[in-house]
Amino acid sequence: MDKTCSCGHMKDNPLVSAKTKYGRWGWLLLSIGISPKPVEIIYQCQKCGEIVETSKDPVLLEKYRYNSDITK
């Protein structure tokens, strides 16, 4: 069964956004204008703020490499 937040949204719901998380080298590269591969993808509900799911899958990391929604 897929994970949901307390609102009942799954990661494929439009109210759940994918945020990218970077390591130290990633932040350094971002600061000079290079788009590094993130270390983790965090799916967070925009309504309740709960984290629905996280992923370190290399395919997903490459997919969200140029995502502008960054988290610490």
Distance of CA 39 to the CA centre of its chain: 9
Above pLDDT 90, what percent of the chain?
Answer: 54
Q: 33 is in which domain, residue-wise?
A: 16-67
Residues 6+ apart with CB under 8 A from 57: 41
First to last CA, the chain: 28
Query: How would you class 31 by CB atoms within 10 Å of its CB: exposed for 0-12, middle for 13-18, buried for 19 or more?
Result: exposed
Is residue 27 scored above 70 in pLDDT?
yes
The total of other beta-carbon atoms located within 10 Å of residue 25's CB is 10
Is residue 67 scored above 70 in pLDDT?
yes
pTM, entire model: 0.80
Mean pLDDT of the 21-36 span? 84
| Predicted pLDDT of residue 72 | 63
Q: Is residue 51 part of a domain?
A: yes
Token pair for 38 = 């993130």
Q: Is residue 26 part of a domain?
A: yes
Q: Is residue 38 part of a domain?
A: yes
